[in-house]
Structure 1
Amino acid sequence: MQYRILGKTREKVSVLSYGTGGPSQFGQKTGVDDKGRSRLINVALNNGINLFDTAPSYANSEELLGKALKGINRDSYLIATKVSTRNQDLVARRDSIGEFKNPLFPRKSLERSLKKLNVDHIDIFQFHGLANDNYDDIVECFLESIIKAREEGLIKYIGITENLVKEPKHSGMVLALEKHPDIWDTIMLKYGIMNQWAAKNIFPIVQKKDIGILNMAPVRLTLTNNDRLLERFNEWRLNRTDIQGTLEDLKSLNNNNLENSEELISKGYAFAASHDCVSTIITGSSNEKHLKDNIKSANSTIDKEIVKKIIELFGNSDSID
C-alpha cells in the first residue's frame, strides 16, 4: 500500500480509503451481513487501508462500522465522519426548524457519532454537503461548537465535503478555501476522468495552503454504467464544445470496448490517484474481490502519456456523477 501525507494534519494515510456510503452503504443495500462486513474491514486493514469514512446519513453505517472495527487497535486507523448540512436551503434562509436552529446541533451530532462508532474521538469531523448558498450560515452558526470539541480532544481535524450534484464545479468549496483556508484541515470532493474541474480551481489553493484532499467516488457512477456514459457523451456532444473527448476515445482506454469495464475502472482509480494534490481516494465496495481489485488499481502506476491524454480529452469535464 502506498501512503501519502494528509495535508497540514501530517497524518500518513493510505492512497485508498474505505467509505461506507455510496450505492451499497457498507453492504446494507447489497445483502451483506455483519460477518461479511467484518471480512471487508479485515481485507481493508490487511491490505494497508487506514482511513474509514462514514456519516450519520448513510443509514446505520456508523454503528455497523464501529461493530466491524471492534477489537482493532484504535491507533492503527483514522475515522472520518460528518454532520449534515443537507437542509441547506432552510439553514441559508435562517428559518430552519428543530435542531438546525441550535448552534450546538453539530456537537449533538458528534456525540451521537462517538457513541455509534464506539470511540472516544473522531479523527476528521466534516461538514457534509456544504454549498455556496449555505456556507456563511454554517460557519457562523456551527463552527464554534466544533472548534470547542476539538479543544476538548473529541475531534482532531475539521473538514468539509461538497454537494457535487448541486455544484459540479466546486463553487462552494472555492468559497470556503478563499474565505477561511486556515480553518479547514481537509476537504472531500470528486476528481476523476469524468470530472477534472478541481485541477483548475481547487488544487492550486490546497497546494498553497497544505490542505488534505479526500477524493470521493472517482469512478462512480458514470464510468461503470454504459447507459449513463452514452447519455453524458450525447449531452457533451450537443452542449460542450470545450470537451474534445468522445465515447470512442474513452473506449480506447478500455481495449476499445465497454462491455467489460474492468480496465476502464482500473484506469479510473489510477488516474484519480495520479495527481499529487490527492491525499487518498475513497472506495465503497461491498464486494471483497472488487475491494481487492480497487486496492490494486489505486496502487498501480498509470503511464504519464495516458494521464496526459485523459487531461487533453476530458480536462474540462464536470460530470455530476
Structure 2
Amino acid sequence: MKYRNLGNGLKTSALGIGCMPMIKGGNIVYGLDADPDEAAKTIDEAIDMGVTFFDTAEVYGPFSNEILVGEAIRGKRDKLVIATKFGFEIQGGKPVGANSNPAHIRKSIEGSLQRLGVDHIDLYYQHRVDPSTPIEDVVGTLADLIKEGKIGHIGLSEAGPETIKRAAATAPITALQSEYSIWERDIEQDILPLCKELGIGFVPYSPLGRGFLTGQVKSHDELDRDDWRLNDPRFSKENFANNMKIVDVITAIAAAHGASPAQISLAWLLAQGDNIVPIPGSKRRLTMRDSMGASDIILSQADLAAIDAAAPAGQTSGPRYGELGMSMVRL
C-alpha cells in the first residue's frame, strides 16, 4: 500500500475505505443489503493490506455504522486514521436538518467516541455546512476539542470556497471531503486549487459515482426498489444511457491495462493531485481488494486525455443530487 499526506501532517493510506455501505438495513442502501460479518472481515483484511484510513459518520444508520466500525477495529486501532462526521439533527432515527451549534457538536463527539469505542477521533468532519451557525464558531469549537484531546484534526465536507477560507483563517483545516469523480468534476475550477493553496488535503467521496462508473449496473431497471440510487438523477431513465458513454471509455482503458473500471476510475483521481485520498465504499472483501489495487496503476497521458474528452467538467447528464441535496452543498 502506498501512503499520502492530507493537511497538517496527517498521513494515510493512498486509498481509504468508505464504510457507509457496511450496515444492514441502513438509511442509505446501494444494491443488496450488507452482511455485517462480511463487512467486519472487509475492514480486518483491509488493515492487513496496509489500509489505515476508515470513514464513517453518525448519520449512517443512523449511529449503527459507527458501532460496526468500532467493533471491527477493536484491538487494531493503533496507527489507524478514523474519520467520522457530525452536523445533522437526528430525530426518530432520521436526519431532519443541519445542526452545528457548539452544544450539538459537543453532544455529537461524545456519542461518536462511545459508539466507536475510542478515546479520540483522528479526523472530525462537519458533514454539511450549517447556515445558521457561523463557521468560525464551528471551527473554534473543534479547535477546543483538539486541545482537549478528543479529536486530532478538523475536516469540512461539501463546503464552498468562502466558507473554506473563513474556516482556515480560524484554525488549521486538515481535509475537505466532497464528491469528486470522473463524472463529478465541478470542484476542479475553484475548490481544488484553493485546497492546494491552503495546504488542505482532499478526500473524494463517491469516487466511483455510487457504483455507476464500475459498469456493473447496466440499466435503471436493475435497481431494487429500496436502492437509494433511484433518487439520483444521474441514474434516471432519462440520463442513464447518455452517462453510460463515459463508462464505455473507462471500460476500454481498463481492458488495455488488464484492470477493472473501478481501478481506472480511482487511478484517475489519484493522478489529479498528491493531496487526494479517495474513499471508495466497500462492504465486501472482493470489491475492497479490487479498489485497493488502483494505487498500482499509472495512467498514460493518452488515457487521461480520453477520459477528459468523454467526461468534461459539467457535462454529465443530470445533477448529482435532487433539489434538497443540492441545496446543502457548496455553502
Q: Place the TM-score, normalised by the shorter chain, in its bin.
A: 0.7 to 0.9
Matches of 2:239 and 2:204, distance apart in 1 = 25
Residues 40-86 of structure 1: CA distance to partner in whole angstroms, max 9, x if unpaired?
112111111101111111110111111111111x3310111111246
Matches of 1:250 and 1:223, distance apart in 2 = 6
Matches of 2:86 and 2:250, distance apart in 1 = 38
> Are the structure 2 counterparts of residues 246 and 118 from structure 1 closer, same or farther at C-alpha, using a change threshold of 3 Å?
closer
Matches of 1:101 and 1:248, distance apart in 2 = 40
1:84 to 87, 90, 93: 87
Q: Which stretches in structure 1 are left out of the alignment for 5+ residues?
A: 92-99, 163-171, 238-244
1:40 to 36, 39, 42: 42
- Residue 124 (structure 1) aligned with residue 123 (structure 2): yes
Residues 291-317 of structure 1: CA distance to partner in whole angstroms, max 9, x if unpaired?
100111243222222112212332223
TM-score by length of 1: 0.78
> Are the structure 2 counterparts of residues 207 and 232 from structure 1 closer, same or farther at C-alpha, using a change threshold of 3 Å?
farther
Matches of 1:275 and 1:310, distance apart in 2 = 12
The answer for the alignment partner of 2:292 in structure 1 is: 295
Preserved contact between residue 123 and residue 156 of structure 1 (Cα < 8 Å):
yes
Secondary structure, aligned partner of 2:189? helix
The answer for the alignment partner of 2:205 in structure 1 is: 216
- Residue 54 (structure 1) aligned with residue 56 (structure 2): yes
| Residues matched between the structures, number | 286
Q: Which moved more, 1:25-34 or 1:50-59?
A: 25-34
Preserved contact between residue 188 and residue 216 of structure 1 (Cα < 8 Å):
yes
Q: Which stretches in structure 2 are left out of the alignment for 5+ residues?
A: 27-32, 221-232, 322-331
After superposition, residues 159-174 of structure 1 pair within 5 angstroms as: 159-162=155-158, 172-174=159-161
Preserved contact between residue 213 and residue 279 of structure 1 (Cα < 8 Å):
yes
Secondary structure, aligned partner of 1:137? coil
1:264 to 249, 261, 265: 261
After superposition, residues 1-321 of structure 1 pair within 5 angstroms as: 1-7=1-7, 9-21=8-20, 24-26=21-23, 30-34=33-37, 36-59=38-61, 60-72=64-76, 74-85=77-88, 100=99, 103-130=102-129, 134-135=130-131, 137-162=133-158, 172-182=159-169, 183=171, 184-221=173-210, 222-224=212-214, 225-227=217-219, 235=239, 247-248=244-245, 250-255=247-252, 263-317=260-314, 319-320=319-320
Residues 254-292 of structure 1: CA distance to partner in whole angstroms, max 9, x if unpaired?
1399xxxx8322211111221115431102211111110
> Are the structure 2 counterparts of residues 210 and 118 from structure 1 closer, same or farther at C-alpha, using a change threshold of 3 Å?
same
TM-score by length of 2: 0.76
Q: Structure 2 counterpart of 1:105, which letter? A: H
Secondary structure, aligned partner of 1:41? helix
Preserved contact between residue 23 and residue 34 of structure 2 (Cα < 8 Å):
no
> Are the structure 2 counterparts of residues 294 and 256 from structure 1 closer, same or farther at C-alpha, using a change threshold of 3 Å?
closer
Secondary structure, aligned partner of 1:16? coil
